[in-house]
Amino acid sequence: MQALILAGGKGTRLRPLTVYTPKPIVPVLNRPLLLYQIEVLARAGIKDIKLSLSYQPDKIEDVLGDGSDFGVNLQFITESSPLGTGGAYKYAANGTKETTIVLNGDVLTDIDIAELVEFHKERRADATIVLAPVENPSEYGLVETDGDGKVLCFVEKPSAEDCAGTAANTINAGIYVLEPSILRLIPDGEGTSLEYNVFPEILKRGIGFYGFNLGKHYWRDVGTPSSYLAAHRDFLRGAIETIEPAITHSDIATKAFVDKHSVIGEGCVIKPNARIVNSVLGPGVHIDERSVVENSVIWAHTRVSAFAEVRGAVVGRSCYIGRNVTVSEGSVLGDKASLPDYSTV
Ligand code: GDD
Ligand code: MG
């Protein structure tokens, strides 16, 4: 059994955050996003993990190395141009005879992979996809199953009409168990999508195709700024276990206020009468006196000057937020953004 993480997308919906930091390694609670998936796989005893890359592959390799730090073997496979999710699977599989766990690289989950594999084996399925319930399936792949979990219908990015035509509210969570037989449905070296091409073809051919309900496990696609922030909120309220200590070695003034939910990276400086509430600060962030950071994520080495207020925002690396600046709800600032004193965004 091996795993393949599809991590070659450009992360356009997360721009400007993904201009210099590819989506697979955006920090989530100050750790690269892909580490959470690597841990979920390692927990199920899956140590051979291929990463299928296309956008800024070198940065991802630099951060993750060969995987030995995390107790796994990582292999990087880079497409010269994006092959789509199906093409990337075929290219990375390289004629494998092994069952492969395939994951979209932007989903954050604490799924029990061992349980998923057991479900797949019990049904002797060729393909099993994990299902998550959502309120609005239109951004996802809508999946309808029968009582035994057999997939009846798969519609990627369904229209309002498609959604109205079914009672199903379960979507493709972007986690699959695929047998090598599926590789036969994918042409070599061509752009092919699992969601638009391969899954509909599986259904047409009547091959064993099942959906596994995620049940109580956590799941979120963090591919947009609002879902990225929401994932942090989920972590901070304890929906997923925090792995690292909330506050690392930092210089926090005794008169500063940092609430117990916030996570403060290594080497931050927080000056007197600053307030940090329900937020995550990356390493080396500097917060000047009387500034407020609330419900926000701030990446490494950014400076927030005195009397500034940052609320409900994501601020990239090495930004400069001037004095008395207001960064309001929903703002997303790319790396090195500089906001002059008294400005508002
Ligand atoms: N290697 C490689 N090559 N990876 C790719 C490529 C490619 O050409 N295109 C996309 N990926 C990777 C992305 O990096 C991402 O991790 C994953 O495939 C899914 O792509 P997204 O662009 O994030 O797709 P989505 O979020 O719109 O929809 C997908 O995920 C939903 C769940 O979050 C679909 O699988 C939906 O059916 C699903 O519901
Ligand atoms: Mg996505």
Cα 202 from Cα 147, distance rounded (Å): 19
Let me know: does 336 contact 322? Beta carbons within 8 Å. no
Res 80 pLDDT > 70: yes
Q: Which residue matches tokens 């219908």? A: 153
Say if strands 314-315 and 297-298 run parallel, antiparallel, or are unpaired. Answer: parallel
Mean pLDDT value of segment 298-323: 98
Say if strands 338-339 and 257-258 run parallel, antiparallel, or are unpaired. Answer: unpaired
pLDDT more than 90, % of the chain: 80
User: Is residue 43 very low, low, confident or very high in pLDDT (cuts 50, 70, 90)?
Assistant: very high
User: Is residue 15 very low, low, confident or very high in pLDDT (cuts 50, 70, 90)?
Assistant: very high
pTM: 0.92
Considering every ligand atom shown, identify the ligand nearest to the alpha carbon of residue 6 and give its number. Answer: 1
Cα 235 from Cα 29, distance rounded (Å): 8
Residue 225 beta carbon below 6 angstroms from any ligand 1 atom? no
Considering every ligand atom shown, identify the ligand nearest to the alpha carbon of residue 51 and give its number. Answer: 1
47 in catalytic set: no
Query: Across all residues in the chain, what is the average pLDDT?
Result: 93
pLDDT attached to residue 243: 54
Residue 218 has phi, psi (to 5 degrees) of -75, 145
Which of 4, 6, 171 most suits a substitution to test ligand 1, by most atoms within 8 Å of the C-beta?
A: 6
Res 345 pLDDT > 90: yes
- Going from the Cα of 253 to the center of ligand 2, the distance in angstroms, rounded, reads 40
Which residue has the least CA distance to atom 35 on ligand 1?
Answer: 174
Closest ligand 1 atom to 223 CA: 23
